A and B are shown apart, each in its own frame.
Chain A
Amino acid sequence: MSKYSSQEMVLNMGPHHPSTHGVLRFILQTDGEMMVKATPDVGFLHRGIEKIAEKLPWQGFMPYTDRIDYVASVNCNLGYAVAVEKLAGIAVPEKAEYLRVISAELSRLGSHFIGFGALLLDLGAVTPFVHALRERETFNDLMEMLCGARLTHNYVRIGGVSYDAPAGFKEKCLAFVDHLEYEFLSEFNQLISSNTILINRLANVGVITAEEAEEYTLTGPNLRSSGVKFDLRKDDPYGIYGRFDFEVPVGTGKYGVIGDCYDRYWIRIEEVAQSCKIIRQALSQMPETGEFRTKLPKPFTVPAGEIYVRTESPRGELGYYLISDGGKNPFRVKIRTGSFSSMTIIEHISQGVMVADLVAIIGSLDVVAPEIDR
């Protein structure tokens, strides 16, 4: 053996590791500082949500959907509600549709703050994370005004939402959107987005081509950052998303090649501006008065049948495959989440990168562990 011959080593990362975004384990095969392969080991947060669903009434499952992705719980509520409504043929009042869009887009903002904030924290930049969390605090306050909860909101109901917007909500929400668009984004970009160290850490790292992204079923921001312009809010609209005017940002290879970690970071910053645009339009179009929930028949049953409905959550396509046998409980609920498919590509793109880059790759894919394990 020569003095500098290489030797492979197997390292364990997680399940309790500060940069694995939840309880998530990687088995790393390394050769010095280079990664040979990173194999994810998931399931630490498996709670059997799909089995629990079969034991509960259709409405009773709603609080559990919060726990699928607790960073953006309204989006998970919404996906389930839309799926059940389509299967049962329930109409949603106009006002509820607007409240749903507002809360879902607020949730997307809150989720993206955690998404890019935590990525920066993983890379060692603590200050921007605190800036992002400061904004999430306002989002928490707004959701508290709407439904009383700050994390697991359980706001959307089958056939509407749980509460009407209280007095003062509209003004506070508008002020928040103004603050984000005119103050926060430019301040944040000055602070970190054009920072040379950040660009060097993210640009040209963990490149996912459009073909790879489609092959590995990536969805949402991760797919769009690879240059594929596909957003379910535009391409397969649900609810009233067809009424709003907004852009779908795609990866352009701002500082490197298309589909690198920087593109995945930057697309979330751009989506913040687009969500603000949607919230502003929804607030101005929303009717002042009106019903916010359809009364459901008691006992509530869903006609027998099968359906697959997908919605755009902050982490990509959130799909519910529902099977009803005509009874009070679902017969089978399958939840397809964005993080699950993001996770499958890590083994593929982590080959041959530096160990420190793996943290950037995991962070830039914005993986949330409970969404993988369910």
Chain B
Amino acid sequence: MDHEKIAAILKSRLGLAVQSMDEMKNNDLMIVVDKKHLISAAGTLKNDPALGFSTLMNHLGVDYGDRMAVIYNLYSPTLGQKVTVKVYLEQDNPEVPSLERAFQGISWYERETYDLFGILFTGHGNLKRLLLPEDWKGHPLRKDYVYPAAYNNIETARIDMMNEMGEAKGPHV
């Protein structure tokens, strides 16, 4: 099925939830969904027989500097199509409803995003840090993250190097 048809189905099924629609570099569709409609949109994408985006491939958070976003990569085995669902969040105290009800396997992905970005997933069953220690301060993948000088009185010696690396002279081919 070609893209325009799928785009038309998506628009008719999701209605007001879709804020904008775009095509990515490898011809996947990207839809930007309003936060208020995320849960219902996810349910429609997964359960509507005409769509069938039942496979969650990937989930990530992004810090764009002026706003945050969460991204869900879905795949429909029946259509053989991928769709990227993006939800923009405010920079301060970002919060988004958890999709655990729709996709059980998302639990750890959301924990990772919470851990590294500090995005709160409301309604998540077990929202704890996943990769970093529980007493870690801050969320490292945020663009304004400042590296700590020490952790539990252990100096993080690479701190100067990490701060200079932004100017690293490439390419190491």
**Given A230, A296, A321, which contacts B60 in the complex, CB threshold below 8 Å?**
A321
Contact in complex: A344, B108 (CB < 8 Å): yes
Given contacts A306-B30, A307-B26, A308-B28, contact A214 B54 (CB under 8 A): yes
Report A's interface with B, CB cutoff 8 A: 42-43, 46, 48, 50-51, 55-60, 62-63, 86-87, 89, 157, 214-217, 230, 235-236, 296, 298-300, 305-310, 317, 319, 321, 323, 328-329, 332, 334, 336, 340-341, 343-345, 373-374
B residues in contact with A341, CB < 8 Å: 105, 108
- Known: A319-B58, A334-B58, A373-B131; 4 extra A-B contacts, CB below 8 A, are A46-B132, A59-B170, A86-B26, A310-B57
Contact in complex: A60, B168 (CB < 8 Å): yes
Contact in complex: A57, B171 (CB < 8 Å): yes
> How many CB-defined contacts (below 8 Å) exist between A and B?
117
Which 5 pairs from chain A and chain B are nearest by CB? A57-B170, A217-B105, A43-B131, A334-B60, A216-B105
Q: How far is the CA of A216 from the CA of B55 in the complex (A)?
A: 9
Q: How far is the CA of A329 from the CA of B171 in the complex (A)?
A: 11
Segment from B13-21, B76-84, B90-98 that makes contact with A: B76-84
**Given B54, B80, B166, B172, which contacts A59 in the complex, CB threshold below 8 Å?**
B172
Chain A binding site: helix, strand, loop or mixed by DSSP? mixed
Given contacts A214-B55, A217-B57, A235-B80, contact A308 B131 (CB under 8 A): no
Write 22 A-B pairs (CB below 8 A) sorted by A numbering: A42-B131, A43-B131, A43-B132, A43-B133, A46-B131, A55-B166, A55-B168, A56-B165, A57-B172, A63-B172, A87-B25, A89-B25, A214-B55, A217-B103, A235-B80, A299-B171, A307-B28, A323-B62, A332-B141, A336-B73, A341-B108, A374-B131
B residues in contact with A340, CB < 8 Å: 108
Contact in complex: A230, B77 (CB < 8 Å): yes
B residues in contact with A321, CB < 8 Å: 58, 60, 71, 73
Contact in complex: B57, A216 (CB < 8 Å): no
**Given A60, A157, A299, A308, which contacts B24 in the complex, CB threshold below 8 Å?**
A308
Given contacts A55-B168, A60-B171, A336-B57, contact A215 B105 (CB under 8 A): yes
Interface residues on B, range: 35 or more
Cβ contacts B47-68/A at 8 Å (1 or 0 each): 0000000111110101100000
Report B's interface with A, CB cutoff 8 A: 24-26, 28, 30, 54-58, 60, 62-63, 71, 73, 77, 80, 82, 84, 103-108, 116, 129-133, 140-141, 162, 165-166, 168, 170-173
Contact in complex: A43, B57 (CB < 8 Å): no
Q: How far is the CA of A344 from the CA of B125 in the complex (A)?
A: 14
Q: How far is the CA of A320 from the CA of B54 in the complex (A)?
A: 20
B residues in contact with A332, CB < 8 Å: 60, 62-63, 141
Residue of A nearest to B167 (CB): A55
**Given B71, B82, B130, B162, which contacts A55 in the complex, CB threshold below 8 Å?**
B162
